[in-house]
Every structure is written in structure tokens, then in C-alpha cells.
Structure 1
Amino acid sequence: MAGPAPNDRDDSRADGVLSSRTILICALAVAAIAAGACWVLFAWYGHGTEADRIRLDGIRTVGTIVVGTGGALALLLAARRQQTAERDLATKRAELRVREQANNDARHDATERRINELYLKAVEQLGAGQAPVRLAGLYALDRLAQENPRLRPTIANVLSAYLRMPYDLPVSGPEPRQEREVRLTAQRLLVQHLVPDASQDLFWSGVELDLSGAVLFDFAMNGAALHNARFTGARFIGDAWFHEVTFTGTTRFDDAVFENAAWFTGATFTGSTHLDHVVFRNEAHFEDTDFVGATLCRLGRFQSDAWFNRALLRGVVYFSRTEFERNARFTDADFLATPVFEHEVTTQSATFDNTRFGDEAWFDRVSFANYTTFDNATFEGHIGFDGTTLNGAPYRPPQLQSDQFSLEDTV
């Protein structure tokens, strides 16, 4: 019978593993030695005399000690083998963790490469000449942001940047109409992610909207939550809806132009609000609006009626060189801080009926071209009408007591 292959024998020696044949031979040798030792002992001390029994007891004691020592050595060897096995297992686990981490890193790198490729491809589509390709790029970006929350602020900025791109209002033609549809889609995608919903699945938190200089069509952000929103120089074509929007941080509508009606009814401005050089060509509705911080409107123009009925103005309100070309209505408004109307503020008529002024109020060099009423208005501080006129004549509100206001420098 052929023996084991040389390679097998070499592998056994290299691995340090005893073969079954070697273990059997060693066991037989130990048994033979034990049998021989027993035969010698009985041959020498097996005569039954007292001296033989004493010698056998001594030998038995020595044998017990030897066996006990061997057992202890066996326990030590077993502990050593257990320690070695545990070290091998720990080494294997460490190697497994390293391999798993390497696999995870490889998967993460592959995912990141895929995301970057999708992102770059979608952004490239936004610059395509065909409107359907640009639409596909918008939807691809939206899907990518929805699946990867950390990309949402970046992609929101990309969508906003697309809307900030220069755009001239077209007269006619299919291509301009297609571009308008692309822009309406970008607006809708932004809006749907800035309005908190019950499940919060679509809402993108941590986004700061910047639509400075953008041309926006029928812009509706009702119920949105905006932080540090910037609409500086934006142009709103069609009605602009900000009904019940919550503005946090600094909100800027400087140099913005509202071509049609602007609706801010029920909105809340928790920070400062900037309306410098703003132009409202149609009605401006701020009914039931809560202005928590300072409200600044310098060189603004309200070319139609401005409605601030029931508005709650907690911070300083500052109108300077602002034109109200028709009616400025502040009926039932509540000024908790000082309102200032100064430096050539003009208005056709103004209504402050049932308005409460919780602090000082200043109407300096205001020109009222028609009637102005303060019926049932209440003042908790000083009110000044320095240089204020009604139809060119010095204005003295007939509804107020003389000790409530001053007329210094009245024209």
C-alpha cells in the first residue's frame, strides 16, 4: 500500500500536528512501561512482609505525588493551549474586522463615486439647450437630494442658482415658454421641500434660500419655513404668495419688485425684515402679520393699497422716504415698539383706526394727500407730527388731545 505523499508528510511536520500512528505508538509505550513497572514492584515487594508493605506505601505516595504533578502540568498545558486558541480566535476576529472595514470603505467609495457622477451629470443637464433635458436634470437633482439628506443644502443652492440666472421676459415663441416651464418646475421643487409636513419626509431642514435677482412666476410659498431668506432684487411676475410663512433670521426683500399682488397674510417675521427700495405695483397684504424684529422700509414704493390691518409689530418699524401712492391701512394694528414715519413719507390716505401705540410714535415730515384718521387709536407714549401736512396744510389729528402730541417745526 502506498504511503502518504511526500507533500502530505511535509505539511504535517510543518503544521506540527501529531499523526494518529504516532499517538498510538506513544500510548502503547506508556502502557508497556507502566506494566513493566508494576511487575518489577510486585516481584521485589510482593512477599507480604511488613517491610514490603511499608516500601509499597512509600512508593504509592511518591507515585501519587508524581501523578498529581503530571496532572498539574497537564492543566498548565491545557491552559496554554486555551490561551493560544483564544489568541488565534482574537487574531482571526481582528482580521475579519479589518476585511469588513475594507469592504465597507470600498462600498462607501463606490457609493460616493456614483453619487458624484449622478450629481455632475444632473448639473450638466441643467446647462443643456433642450428644455426636456434641463427638466430631467432638475428631477434627477431632486431625487438625489431626497435620497441623500447631506446633499440637500447644496442641491437647494443649485436650484436657487438656476433661478438666479439672467432671464429676460419673452414676448412669444415656444422656446421661451419651455424655459418658463423649467423655471416653474424649479420653483415647485424648492417650495415642496421648504414647507414642513406632518411626516417630515419631504421637508429639507437647514436650507437658507437665496433667490436674489431671480425672476419668479406666480411664486407661492404658503406655509413654508424660511431661514435667512434673501429675495434682494427679485422680480415677482404674477401674484406672490407668502401666506403663513415663518421667516427666521434676517429676511431681505431689498430692491424686490412685485408686479402683481403680494400676500403676506398671517406670516411671521421672527428676525429683522428689510424692505428697502422695494416696489409693490399692486396691493400689498400684510394683514395679521407678526413682525417680531425690526422692520425697515426705506425708499420703498407702494403703488396700490397697503394693508397692515391687525398686524402685530413688536420691534421698531421704520418707514423713511417711503411712498404710499394710495391707501395705507393700519386698522387694528398693534405697535408694541416705536413706529417711525419720517423724511418725506407720502400717502394718499392713512387709516390708524383702533390702532394701539404701545410706545412713542413719530410722524415727521409726512405728507398726507387725502384724509387720515386715528379713530379710537390709543397711545401709551408720546406721538409727534413734526412737519406733517394734510393736503399741504399743517396736520393736527382732531382725535387726539393736545398733551399727547407735538407740532414743532410744522410747516
Structure 2
Amino acid sequence: MSDDVRERPRVSGTVVAQFVTQLPLLKLYVPIWISCEFVWTLLGSALVLLADIARVTSTRWKRRHAVVGLIAVSGALVAIQLVLTAVEQPWWPSLGGILDWLGNWYLVLIAAWLACGAYMLHRRGKRSATTPPVPVRWVEGPDQLSVVARPAATRAPSELALQSRWNWTAITSVITAFTAIGALLFTSLSLKATEQGQVTDRYTKAIDQIGTTGNDHLETRLGGVYALERLAHDSPRDQPTIIEVLSAFIRSNAPHITSPPLRGGTCSSPAAITLDVQAALTVLGRRDTSQDSGTSIDLHQVCMAGANLTGANLVGADLSDARLTKVGLFRANLSGAELSGTYLDNAYLADAELTNAHLAVADLTRADLFKADLTNAQLDNALLTEAQLSKANLAGADLFNADLTYARFENTNLTGTNFRSAKLAGADFVGADLTNAEHDASTITKDAWKSPETIGAWW
């Protein structure tokens, strides 16, 4: 067999392979092209219908202005919606979103539009057939001019009556508009199904990417993490699932605390977190929380020492018994977060939001909480030795039996704070506001600092 004959199957196979690879694009572009065709058909038929109605009602505008106005407004809204749907933009919902919002009411709106058109045609049909004008001519007689009628119209009376009763142009416009609307709705549903299929394909591919192991697949895992972030943005209803997937990815790939977890547990590996785990933390921290649907981040007993979570949104996250030593949490939002037994020693929490956070038995030794908001935070039995709490807000915080030895509270709001059984030896309360702060006989204030500006000091 010659070389040319041997090469033919390989070339044909390449062409077929290239065609197959373009099938997903065809699934996307063909419905869009069909939608554009229906858009122009609908707009054209609507314009013809409105022009004909305007011509019919020109002599009776006062009686029919409401009907014509309704049709015009409906047509304009449909046209605007179709144009905005065809143009990609983030500030206007898609046609599928509008239909989901309207539910079955969109059928009522379409029926009302068509009913108005039918009403106008009916009013047109009820007009009685008028006798066509009889043309005349002047004939000069013997004594005077006389009028002689021309022959009758050549068209049959039935044809004239039918023409006067029905406006077939308007009827055709209504039928065309109805057909275009039905086709457009069908195309919208097809596009929605196609979009969901693409979301499923993207999700499956991203899961396969983050499931790869080994250092040689680091870039693949990073691509999977960011693909899930983009998917959460494009399909908000899938964000709760993506949060759970990324949380499980972090728990599976980061070191974890060995038992016992409370102030004695160690990480299963002293190695720092990897780039893919840091990427997953970053993605979770900058998500749109309005799409969480009640799903929270679960990173309990995970070792994330040295991680960068600056500005992260971790509202309601479960970080209990986790190790966050030297973690950067500047301006992070941890409101309502579960941080019981969490290691936060030497962590940077300046300007962080910790309102209603649960920090019982947490280790905050030498943590920087400058200007942090800990309103109503639960810090009972917490370790805050040498912690920086200057200008922080601890109003209503619970520090029962907490160790605050040598902690700094300069100009701190401690209104209504519970210091029962707390250890405040050597703490600095210069300029602090201790109004209505709770304490008892077991509260240790030995060598605690205060100044004339300190309000509510009891020692």
C-alpha cells in the first residue's frame, strides 16, 4: 500500500476530531443565533401590528388610547428585555431570571397582549361595510347639464364586505407575533438547559482538577480552585455546594490537630500550608456571602499557621480547635464565628470584627487585637496573656476566668464586661472605660495599671 493511502485515515480522523471538539461551541452558539432571529421576527411583527392598530384607531383615539398604550408599553418592554438579554451585562437579569421571577404570570401578560390585539381586530370587523362612492360625470344635454353615474364597481359585493370586515395584515401580524413569542420562550428554556449542562460540565472538571495529587499537579489544583470560584460567581445557586467542597479540600490537604485538641494538641505536620490550600482560603474569604444560603465554612481542627486571611469574610465559620498561630487576620470579619479552643497566639487581628464570636478556651497569647471589635464576644477561660487590646471594643464581652496577665487595655471600651474570676495582674487600663464592669472577690488586679482618665476602676 502506498504512503498516500496510509496517510488518508489519519488525516480524516484529525478532521473528525476537530469537528467533535467544536460540538460544545455549536451547542452554545446555535441557540443564541436562533434567539436573535426570533428577536428580529418578534420586533418586526410587533411594529407592523402597532402601526396597523394606530391606523385603525386614528379616528377613535380617545376611546381606545388605553388599549393602544397597553400594547405599546408591552411591546417596548419585550423589546428592551430581548435587547438586554442579547447583550452580555451584569446589571440586568437574563430572560430566564425574569421568567423565574414572574413564574406563570408571563403567560398572562402574553395573553393580555394578544387579547388586546384581538379586541382591536374585532372592533375593526364590527364596522359595517360602507357602500363605495359612486363616481359621476357631467354630460351636456340639449338644455342643461346632467349627471350620469359610471358603471358599478367591478368587484363582487362579497369581496368588498370581506375586505372591509377583516384586516388580514393585522391578523398575520398577530399570528407572527404569537409564533415568535412561543419560539422565543422555547429557545429560552433550551438555553437555560444548555447553561445548566455547561455548569455541570465545569463543576465536574473542576472537581477532577482539585482531586489530583502530587507536587507536579499543583498548577492543576490551583486551576480547579479558581474554576470553582468563577463557577460560584456565574451560578450563585451552586455556591453553597462549592463552599462545602473547598472546605473539604482544605481539611483534606492541610495538616490537622491531633488529639487532645485543647491546649495540647499538635499539628500532624509542621510544614506550612501549601499554595493550593492558601488559594482555597482566599477564595472562601472573598466570596459573596449573600449567596451562602445558610452554608458556613467548616475548618475545625485544621492547622493553618502563617496563613494570610487579611480582609477575609469568615462570618459564622467553624474554626474550633484549629491552629491559627501567626495568621494574618487584619480587618477580617469573624462575627459569630466558632473559635472555641482555637490557637490564635501571635495572630494579627487588628481592626478585626469579632462581634458575638465564641472564643472560649482560645489561646490569644500576645495576639494583636488593636481596635478590634469584640462586642458580646465569649472569652471565658481564654488565654490573653500580653495580648494587645488597646482601643478595642469589649463592651458586654464575657471574660470569666480569663487570663489577662500583662494585657494592654489603653483607651479600651470595657463597658459591662464580665471580669469575674479573671486574672488582671499587671494589666494596663490607662484611659479605659470600665463602667458597669462586673468583678468579684476572686478577680485578681495585683499591679494593674490605671490613670485619672480610667473610668470605673474598682481597685
Question: Shorter chain as normaliser: what TM range?
Answer: 0.5 to 0.7
CA gap 1:226/1:75 in 2 versus in 1, 3 angstroms: farther
1:306 partnered with 2:393: no
Please give the per-residue CA displacement for 1:346-384, whole angstroms capped at 9, x wherever unaligned: 354222122122x3122224453852122224436xx66
1:87 is matched with which residue? 171
Q: Report the counterpart of residue 417 of structure 2 in structure 1.
A: 339
More helix by share: 2
- Residue in 2 that maps onto 1:228: 316
Matched residues in 2 for 1:285 and 1:118: separation?
A: 42
Shift of 1:170: 5.1
- Residue 365 to residue 251, structure 1, CA distance change in 2 (3 Å): farther
Instruction: Write out aligned runs for 1:100-111 (5 A).
Output: 100-111=184-195
Contact persistence 2:419–2:443 (CA under 8 A): no
Structure 2: runs of 5+ lacking an equivalent: 1-138, 257-266
Of Structure 1 and Structure 2, the greater strand share is in 1
Aligned to 1:263: 348
Inter-CA distance 226–206: structure 2 relative to 1 (3 Å threshold): farther
Deviation at 1:107, TM superposition (A): 2.3
Q: Which structure has the greater CA radius of gyration? A: 1
Q: Cα 1:105–1:227, aligned 2, differ >3 Å: closer, same or farther?
A: same
Per-residue deviation at 1:150? 4.5
Please say if residues 163 and 211 of structure 1, whose CA atoms lie closer than 8 Å, have aligned partners that are also in contact.
Answer: yes
**Amino acid corresponding to residue 284 of structure 1 in structure 2:** A
User: How far did residue 71 of structure 1 move?
Assistant: 9.6
- 1:12-411 mapped onto 2 (5 Å cutoff): 60=148, 76-82=161-167, 84-130=168-214, 132=217, 133-165=220-252, 167-168=255-256, 169=267, 171=269, 180-191=274-285, 193-194=286-287, 205-207=290-292, 208-236=296-324, 238-248=325-335, 250-258=336-344, 260-269=345-354, 271-280=355-364, 282-291=365-374, 293-302=375-384, 304-313=385-394, 315-324=395-404, 326-335=405-414, 337-342=415-420, 344-357=421-434, 359-366=435-442, 368=444, 371-379=447-455, 397=459
Contact residue 262 and residue 284 of structure 1 kept, 8 A: yes
Question: Are the equivalent residues in 2 in contact too, given 1:184–1:217 (CA < 8 A)?
Answer: no
Distance 2:269 2:337 in 1: 33
- With the length of structure 2 as denominator, give the TM-score of the two structures: 0.56
Structure 2: how far apart are the matches of 1:49 and 1:330? Answer: 128
| Alpha-carbon distance in structure 1 between the residues aligned to 2:165 and 2:310 | 74
Q: What CA deviation, in whole Å up to 9, does each residue of 1:275-311 have, x standing for no partner? A: 112123x4111112233x4122112123x41121122
- Which whole-Å CA distance do the structure 2 matches of 1:185 and 1:130 have between them? 16
Deviations 1:29-62 (A, max 9, x none): xxxxxxxxxxxxxxxxx9x899xx99x97xx57x
Q: Is the 8 A contact 1:349 1:368 kept in 2?
A: no
Residue 239 (structure 1) shift: 1.1
Question: In 2, distance between residues paired with 1:356 and 1:347?
Answer: 15
Distance 1:204 1:368, change over 3 A: closer
User: By how many angstroms is 1:143 displaced?
Assistant: 3.3
Unpaired segments ≥5 residues, structure 1 = 1-45, 195-202, 385-396, 398-411
Question: 2:399 is matched by which residue type in structure 1?
Answer: F
AA matched with 1:215: C
Q: What are the superposed Cα offsets for residues 47-99 of structure 1, whole Å, 9 maximum, x if unpaired? A: x899xx99x97xx57x78x66x97986654323452x3322232122222222
Following the alignment from structure 2 to structure 1, what is the Cα–Cα distance between the partners of residues 305 and 170?
Answer: 71
In structure 2, C-alpha distance between the alignment counterparts of 1:111 and 1:254, rounded to whole Å: 42
Q: What displacement does 1:115 show?
A: 1.0
- CA deviations 1:108-143 (Å, max 9, x no partner) are 212211211220232244334445154443233233
The CA distance in 2 between the partners of 1:171 and 1:279, in whole Å, is: 20
Give the secondary structure class of the aligned counterpart of 1:274: coil
Structure 1 position 243, deviation (Å)? 1.4
Tell me, in whole angstroms, the C-alpha distance in 1 between the residues paired with 2:326 and 2:340: 18
Distance 1:104 1:268 in 2: 44
Question: For each residue in 1:159-199, what CA deviation from the matched residue of structure 2 results, as whole angstroms up to 9, or x when unmatched?
Answer: 12322348444558xxx78x7343223223334x25xxxxx
Query: Counterpart of 1:227 in structure 2: which amino acid?
Result: V
Q: 8 Å contact 2:358–2:379 — kept in the other structure?
A: yes
The amino acid across from 2:407 in the alignment is A
Contact 1:298 1:322 in 2 (8 A): yes
User: Using a 3 Å threshold, how does the CA distance of structure 1 residues 246 and 170 change in structure 2: closer, same or farther?
Assistant: closer
Distance 1:118 1:274 in 2: 37
Shift of 1:219: 2.4
The alignment covers a number of residue pairs equal to 303
